[in-house]
Chain A
Amino acid sequence: MAATVVATMAMATGPVEAKQGSSEVLLALADDFLKGADPLANLRDRKAAIDDTFAKSGNYAFRIADLADRGSSVAVATDAASVSPDTLTLVPAAGVWLKLDAVAARFGEAKPSPSLPNAARRYRIAIAEDRSIIVEISGEPGRTGTRVTKLIAVRER
């Protein structure tokens, strides 16, 4: 397994610098969600295009121009018996160079988590017993060009 990523501030250079504001916005969205904020209200504030086709089941796909691409979604339980946590999934838009280090700096130590068939490099940040962040990255952590491809904020009820 890859080494544990210790929280350190990322150096902002090149494209990171250009889109650093976007990265901060994504991290703020995740942070607000973990703190119990209404994710849909937050997304509307960010002028997100929200698809409510599956609203009755608590699923909302969304996009935010230049910030969050297709694959981004909110899932909230509609059944009290559900043990699946509420989640906010953020897929950084192309050009948003969010780094694992930056996520770790914001939320805490990121530890490798078992891979999924469609996501080999996954990390989990345990924030509290009922709050965590899952991060998927595009390549080896710390390597130039490696970026966050998905960030899932997990809020258990």
Chain B
Amino acid sequence: MLPSDISTATPRLYLKPEGLAPVRTADGGGGIDIGGISGIFDAAKAIVATAGRDGSHIPSTRATVRDETSLSGLAEQYGTTVQQLILLNKNNPGIFDLRKGDTIRVPLNRQVVEVQEGDTLRSLARTYGVSVDQIVKANGLLGGELPPPGSDIVLVPPTAYGLGTKASAKAFIADIKTLEHQWNALEPSERLQALEDAINERLATRGVPPVDLVIDGLDGNGVYDFTTHTIKVDSALLSKDGVKSEDLLDLADTVYHEGRHAEQWFDMARIHLAEGRPASELDMPRGVIRAAREAGAIDLDTDRGRFANAMYRSVYGSGSDRRNDVLTALNDGTTVTPEEYADYRRLPEEADAWRVGGMITNLWYG
């Protein structure tokens, strides 16, 4: 996981477009607050595009509007698009006039990927192991057309599984909230252990061997290292008493994101071994390889198989050179550009981990 020090927010303008009901801004002033001119066009297009559609097929949850009341701001907050928010709230007449305390439906998953030059619905479907129809439905795409480069779209996997299920995310959050209450009574090692137990209980349901949570003396964000089957976490937060809820949420999101990577790599190992390729090419510990062998092959002709195989291709298959190029650009010591960051977020395994880790954020205050 990387520090989200690159703002993905566009400056918001408070305008009053023709044909739309005026919307109060958060400070009570008049004017539309859906995210500036592009947001207005997005919303207008969404209204047209979503006519006759509903978002019932999109995994969602209820959320209370707090400080952020603009549709574009809420879309960013919940890792989605204005279009999908409107789609999910088609039966809510107040969606264009949100105020603090209102309740809306938001997607369970955070799932935004930026459309780039050369993308087609077919190429995106292949890259992410989903169907064209799913992309069209999840985004309410008018006429089945992909929005122009630079637009955000959402990618909903065919079937939720493992850490990607709502039940798993909610159980993990319950464990972390228990940890929050016990925080000051625990030593740093015990906090680390509680986090480790929380993620491993979820991984065990998929047969993934337990990961070790480790610290390395560096502050900052976590990372799953498949070569050691470990998740590195921020030692600074775990070492101090009086944790803030938002800091713990960030840590929980990170551990869940990295835990999803552990689940992905386990599936990659299963796919790799089933193809008869040498285990040594995976660079993973023997215990994980053993468990992957025991778990057996994944049927690649199923929705889930295609989804997992997209990530396998990205890391160990035809996408590996491209992936290494993306991550090399990200780590070349120069300032990370928005394009480089978008490329990183578009990697199938990262798009999936950000989506799944983001479930913790979207469900935390529910």
Residues of A within 8 A of B (CB): 1, 51, 53-57, 59, 61-63, 70-73, 75, 77, 79, 81-85, 87, 89, 112-122, 124, 126, 129-130, 132, 134, 138, 152, 154, 156
Contact = CB atoms under 8 A, between A and B. Distances in A.
B283 A124 contact: yes
Interface string B35-70: 000000000000000000000000000000000000
A118 B212 contact: no
Contacts of B182: none
Contact of A56 (B189, B215, B287): B189
Contact of A83 (B188, B223, B291, B332): B291
A85 B215 CA distance: 14
Contacts of A154: 227-228, 285
A116 B327 contact: yes
Interface residues of B, number: 52
A114 B286 contact: no
Interface of B: 1-2, 187-190, 192-193, 196, 209-218, 221, 223, 225-230, 235, 238-239, 280, 283, 285-288, 290-291, 315-316, 320-321, 323-324, 327-328, 330-333, 344, 350
Given A54-B189, A61-B217, A71-B218, A82 B330 contact: no
Contacts of B214: 59, 73, 75, 84, 87
A115 B286 contact: no
B315 A152 contact: no
B217 A83 contact: no
Instruction: Identify the 3 closest CB pairs spanning chains A and B, nearest first.
Output: A83-B287, A61-B217, A56-B189
Contact of B188 (A53, A72, A73): A53
Nearest to B231: A84
B228 A84 contact: yes
